Structure 1
Amino acid sequence: MTGVPIVVVGAGHAGFHTALFLRDEGVEAPIVLVDGLDGPPVQRPPLSKSMLLGEAEPRLEFRKPEFYAARDITLLHDTVARIDRERHLVRLGSGRALGYRDLVLATGCRARHLTVPGSGRAGICVLRTPHDARAIRDALGRADDVVVVGGGFIGLEAAAAARKRGCTVTVVESLPRLMRRVVSADISDHFRALHEAEGVRVLTDTTVHAFDGDTRVRQVVLADGTRLRADLVVLGIGVDPEVELARDSGLAVGDGIEVDTALRTSDPSISAVGDCSSFPTRDGTRRRFESVQNATDQARVAAARLAGRTVEFDAVPWFWTDQFAAKLQIAGLVPDPEAETETARIGDAADAFSVLHFHNGRLTAVESVNRPSDHAAARRLLAQDTSLRPDDARIPRFRLPGTAALRTG
């Protein structure tokens, strides 16, 4: 194919799927996928799950290399140093200039690091890339005492993997409860009890003061002076969106690259999708999500618009995490703990239940533990603005509409 290409910066879930959906939409322009990592684009969910367990390495590649040639998608292993918006050019780290018809920023996020004394010692790891995951996986084979800093999804998945591999594990979380930013207190309590039952020590309302040791970390020093033995530390304290390229180009940036409902930035020839983008939501606020679902759904919307079919991004967000024998799936956004909300719990089993959240009488979110049919039904209900009310969910043996047909036992 000839002509000025559509250039996609970043080959994670958002970038890869943008290129894929552009071809599915019938776009015939050349597509160039620019990414700084060597090798074909890879998916990230297995990195904090099956990859750390030390078993056979999962397949990470979205597609085999020949797929890209067949779809006339050029993979360019390089970085973008600067965007020349006036000339519609990107300046690459290699010195090359690449013209674009449209530019899609799918730059993702970078893992946060702790800046405390001793944070540069060996044995302190983050988990973001395949290289990170392999390093942690190999280190777990030699480690006895593991400290995980951060009680979010990534930290708790890493803690579960480390414990399964026989390590002594302590989780250090600065907030009052685990996964506080994304789940309700009921779910936090359930997963804390699960981890503690599996032998993980959980410390909340606790911060790290320093890392002690020689060339390697040997101890984690907490703010109250407590010292935890550690020959491996995994940091799971969140991520920051990669916005520098956009900011340096004069695009609107807040907590992410700001886009409209069609995922256009302040420059209509530049889009932003995935973890790096901040978009307007139904309630009038601006949000940024870090999830595979969000990346894929936004890629679909951006590709459709670049193909000449403008649609608005208004997908129901959903998230999931696997920890020990528990799969947590969340549809919608769990309300802020300070908001006036009602909840209803369905399911009688201690290890399989769902928590329904209502705000002003309207269903806003469903958290499901080991009840995948509830999750599937919740996503459909939230997408159609269901009329389900709190009193309905409190009827004995209540089931979400549509789950009966989904149940297999």
Structure 2
Amino acid sequence: MKKLFVMAAMMVASATAFAGDSDALKAILKAKTYAEAEALVKSNLGSLASDAEKAKAYNKLVDLAMAQFDAQSTIQTENQLAKQMGKEEKPVDTKLMSEMAYNALVAGLECDKYDQKPNEKGKVAPKFASKNAQRLWLAPRNTLVNAGQDALTAKDNASARKYWQLFTESDAAPMFKAQDREAQKPFFGQVARFAAIFAYQDKDMAKALELADVAMKDPEEYENALNLKLEILGDGLKTKDDSVKYAENLKGIYAEHKVNGVMEKLYNVLLGLGNDAEANKILDDALAKDPNNFVALADKGLALLQANKASEAIPYLKKAFEVKPDNAIIATYAGTAYSVEAQNIEDAAKKKELYKQAIDMFDKAKQLDPDMLQAKWGYNRYNAYYNYYGENAAETKQAEQDMH
């Protein structure tokens, strides 16, 4: 009796180990075209017996998509030879090629999702990851880059986003972790940033932020991608609660990225919320770390000038101009601070000296921006000349002419 029981147990184990494909999977594996197989996968996914079967089904989609992709790719190669030999070239269906590159990659990622799950023995033993990583990494993904550019040229932003977003996101897929990324370095960050822009235009804020974060990892795209992220986060602020949330987001970003663009936005948002002390501390901390931080110097000086504290503003604005002596706007503000301070004191000699310093700064602004395209130095400069030289002096008359 014991012997019969053992034999029965062996028969059950054997039947389990060698169980055939389910009928649903068999139907998918018999499909001849990608469209047919895709429809079967969509309608029968829940009927597939295991994660292994689902992986096999999606791998079938990869096979069929790649067959169509490779057929068009082969024509392209043949056309290159035909062109060299002066022979007639065959038409290439670039739209089909792009779609199949996209479909193959999507199916490959789904295949790998199920392929990486533990089998009936609790072990992860992927069957398709290596092959799919090799055949999907270069040609299909690079085709997505070109397809996105073609879509952009045709003003089809939806398709451009579709191709570029998949190109960007697929980079982080586990099955591609061992692939060489050197070839995509020159353009990967830019593609990610454009994908983020399109997601932002579609009001898909969460995805836009994800893609912007990816683009920020590229040193060449870091600044533009960071500015995009700040714009996305600051979009549609309507209530105080929105601004408070925005300020908290900026604090988190500034803690990670100590850059002036984030600092200045955070400073201005905190001022707008009435958190003056916290806002000023942002600038003071930045200046403690770098006394020549132009943005912090300029913002600190302008805030003091607007608060009618010209004497306190002067050192910051003067230092800011020393850091960036090509900035006509800061030269103008520095000159204005000297003029305002001159008006606030009674000592005639000191007053005259302050107006002289104001004139020096205004003259530098005029030299840098003679047509006042950015810095509106005209009237304030004339006023400083008037108070220093007198109403009828030739210098004052010339300063008046310079306003026009």
TM-score (norm 1): 0.22
Identify the structure with the greater strand proportion. Answer: 1
Structure number with the higher helix fraction is 2
Flag the structure with more relative contact order, 1 or 2, with Cα contacts below 8 A and sequence separation at least 6.
1
Larger radius of gyration: 2
TM-score by length of 2: 0.23
